């Protein structure tokens, strides 16, 4: 088990090349239990490559990747998942016409019966789905309804609840609020808070500084495949963070060149 001084996941000087393209040029970050680490960066900062490396899709070219203090190299996403690292991607990997229950248990269906006569224990699965969603304040009256009938925020919560139920220790959330309105965003941010309070580590990837600041304990800023720094909430204000993420220095120098302000 992780104790508070050992991060659940840590990467040091992580580098990833695709041929001559350098996608990550030395990224360092760590997340502990009971913590939301926000990974901030604009498009092209390297967020997607980092997510896929943590999730076992890519192998790093160099650098250290530690889980519970032990060096790891995953052979694929299933191994990362078995180690407790669950990734909720932006597109959610859900099948809209399939039921909430089927989506919740996809690939891990509870079975009943014997030998070749095993079938999915739908009653048990429905009850679990209803209970797990109820715990987070979402009333799924009929777990057999198509998941596509839920709102975007509710679908995000189904995906997060699924990962938590199946034993995730670290949740990697890829832009979970990017396509949501204010009410839906609040629902998801509240649930991220709940998940952290259960003892999980959360890596919240976003380019929305306000959403990050609402739930984050620490903030790691990525720019062009490198880590610009990591800051605790009491060390940096929201405007400073926004400035750092948007490459404030670059804007300043352009502004000076143009002899005005941007």
Domain CATH code at residue 211 = 3.40.50.300
Average pLDDT over the chain, rounded to an integer = 87
Q: How far is CA 165 from CA 53, 92, 139, 157, in A?
A: 23, 16, 17, 12
First-to-final CA distance of the chain: 49
Of the candidates 210, 208, 216, 248, which has an alpha carbon nearest to the alpha carbon of residue 233? 216
Domain contains 231: yes
The dihedral built from the CA positions of residue 48, 200, 75 and 222, taken in this order, carries a sign that is positive
Residue 46 in any domain: the answer is yes
Q: Is residue 109 part of a domain?
A: no
Say which residue the tokens 């000076």 belong to. 256
Exposure pattern of 125-160 as b/e (b: 16+ CB <10 Å)? bbebbbebbeebebebeebeeebeebebbbbbbbbb
> According to the model, what pLDDT value does residue 253 have?
56
Q: Is residue 26 part of a domain?
A: yes
Report how many domains make up the chain. Answer: 1
Contact 104, 161 (CB under 8 A): yes
In a domain, 225, yes or no: yes
Averaged pLDDT for residues 214-240 = 91
Confidence band (pLDDT; 50, 70, 90) for 193? very high
> Could you tell me the residue range of the domain that residue 42 belongs to?
9-94+167-257
Buried b (16+ CB within 10 A) or exposed e, 211-224: bbbbbbbbbbbbbe
The answer to whether residue 262 is domain-embedded is no
Dihedral class, residue 180 (left if φ above 0, else alpha if ψ from -120 to 50, else beta): beta
Establish if 213 belongs to a structural domain: yes
Where residue 259 falls among pLDDT bands split at 50, 70, 90? low
The answer to whether 188 and 163 have CB atoms below 8 angstroms apart is no
Most confident of the ranges 43-52, 57-66, 84-93: 57-66
- The answer as to whether 199 is a domain residue is yes
Note the pTM of the prediction, 2 decimals. Answer: 0.87
pLDDT band at residue 261 under the 50/70/90 scheme: very low
d(CA 96, CA 147) in angstroms, rounded, equals 5
């Amino acid at each position: 088990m992780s104790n508070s001084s050992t991060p659940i996941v840590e990467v040091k000087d992580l580098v990833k090349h695709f041929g001559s393209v350098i996608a990550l040029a030395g990224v360092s970050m760590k997340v502990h239990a009971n913590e939301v680490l926000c990974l901030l960066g604009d498009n092209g900062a390297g967020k997607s490559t980092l997510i896929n490396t943590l999730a076992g899709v890519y192998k790093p070219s160099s650098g250290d990747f530690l889980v519970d203090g032990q060096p790891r190299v995953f052979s694929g996403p299933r191994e990362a998942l078995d180690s407790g690292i669950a990734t909720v991607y932006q597109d959610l990997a859900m099948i809209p016409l399939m039921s909430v229950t089927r989506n919740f248990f996809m690939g891990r269906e509870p079975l009943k019966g014997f030998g070749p006569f095993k079938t999915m224990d739908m009653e048990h699965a429905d009850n679990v789905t209803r209970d797990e969603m109820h715990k987070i304040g979402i009333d799924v009256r009929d777990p057999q309804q198509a998941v596509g009938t839920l709102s975007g925020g509710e679908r995000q919560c189904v995906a997060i609840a699924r990962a938590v139920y199946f034993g995730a220790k670290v949740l990697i959330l890829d832009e979970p609020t990017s396509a949501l309105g204010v009410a839906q965003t609040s629902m998801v941010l509240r649930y991220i808070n709940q998940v952290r309070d259960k003892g999980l580590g959360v890596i919240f990837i976003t380019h929305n500084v306000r959403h990050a600041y609402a739930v984050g304990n620490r903030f790691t800023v990525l720019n062009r495949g490198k880590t610009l720094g990591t800051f605790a909430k009491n060390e940096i204000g929201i405007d400073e963070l926004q400035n750092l993420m948007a490459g404030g220095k670059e804007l300043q120098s352009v502004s000076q060149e143009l002899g005005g302000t941007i």
